[in-house]
Structure 1
């Protein structure tokens, strides 16, 4: 397989397996081994161990990026070390192109890839603030791929050519979801007649679990309604206290961190996600493939995943009070209409098989890799698009001048 092209995947993140890590692992596992060889460079053992389990060679080293919100103090030596290590890996492993999983690795891989003469693809799972887009050098990537159109909006506003932007929706590995899972109804003593709402996500404010707890108190369904939350995070104590304060003991259940596999989804009657910010909502597609109708807040890329009125019900209100009231109404509607739940569940399964399969995602990336490798960035700095940076450089002095006027 000497003709195989080596793709260097670079990932910087926490020591866990969540949305962007899972997408990257599914992508690397699905690549055509006759055409591509995956090599992972990361800073966390959790994803490295999973990568090794699927046969992907992994390199682990400390990583950091600078000049962004909450970044550590700038360290030129640390930055240069990462650039040099990137160049070394590209040359030593005969890398054909670099795939940065997120914006942060672009800060050192953009110069490293340019110096080594290989193209760089940036794969974004979330939108970034203007400052973050510039300090991570995203505009220097050969291609920028977003998990949704929403993710790429800011880069288009910066002036990045549409030809360098691409949307590749995340894919769901149905075989992984079918893994061993015990469900939860029996363990929690939940009656078959109870209406169960499932939510999966980190217990942080951004995921909006507090909204679902508040909505539960406003539901008017004749069937007893329960909320089951899968995930861990810094807000667990506060969320548990909120449930107690609202008198929801025994109706709100926290299962902690565990893989949300098919049996977990199938033990519920519907899925709900009340995120304040969400670039894609991978768990919504997972719930749909398991036959669950979804209720979600129409933020970020969620309307690109949930078809309002067909595979689920979306909340379009923007004020907090209206959001909670609408969540309750939508959940009541599903609780009282089993036919609607079944119809939406079937439509969701069909939509996932058509638009959100892991095979479709991998195929789109493989085609893009071939396209990018066939037209590499070239050596040195020729061809680097500086327009977004020149535009920003002229904008910021004008902004300061207006502020001081």
Structure 2
């Protein structure tokens, strides 16, 4: 791009009237967008349909790019040929995350959209009407239990992932079924005792299942209620690191040293939604709207993100549930309980796959998010060396990696994680 600017104007138009900035937005290349705006690319230029770069980002559903463009002072009130603002494009495409970003983060007014028929889903209308996120309860909704969806949102309607209540309710139901199955088989051991197994062995298996259910339940509710962690940097530190990263990306030219090439000049996480530079291994959590250090994944069964604050409880829950299901399967096999055996065998297979996956992550010293990015061919900067080759600086061996993940919140305070961002 630096070489091409010597031949073409920074706002050169193609046949559809689109500028290089619009093409960078289509390609979701935040680095190129910063680079072009620094070279006086016009943010208000519209194509043949009246769409600006902000319209393009909003229609694509990228809250991150919308936040970046608004930080770069893109006009929020510019309208296309149909009279829609960028917020209108997000509402029409039902992109809740973008609507929340503009309404809650940048105070965009969407009152005119409420009178329009088909103004997005109920969750979009709720955000526009009350200026609240989907995970926040309104005063009239606080009387409902947190286990169910706030009224009038039916379980049959489309809802954001972070408010899906039924996966968590299914976990509680499975726990209750495990307790009932363990209790029923432990008191009917003599009646169903066969040459395939002794009644005492069956009672022992039921006791193990009962104990694992109680332990797993404690871990489950701990993982649900406990925060995954948040970077407690001051606003000044947020903005300083973010501005330095953007200045570094904007200053790159074709003469920049190749061995020192890094668009943002840092291996930390650039988070446009919060205009901050987070520590390595952190990520912006859309459900909690905050930066989570060492983010692993968002768990629909917990209705919570998994991070250093609750990963140990999450791992303990999965391990206990797996042992419980295996014990119930063995006890049911001894007593010939086909229904119990089939149901808990199926659950044990699912839990075993999750457990094996997280053990594999510990072997490679990776989080679920990092593994997902590697599988997409986009390894994160802190996992690459100076030559751009994969190198994991966090690998200390399987046992140490597992210990650090499970007991990380006991050994490493969040203050130490925040220090990584300096």
Tell me the TM-score normalized by structure 1.
Answer: 0.26
Question: Structure 2 length as normaliser, TM-score?
Answer: 0.25
More strand by share: 1
The higher relative CO (CA closer than 8 Å, separation ≥ 6) is in 1
**Larger Cα-atom Rg:** 2
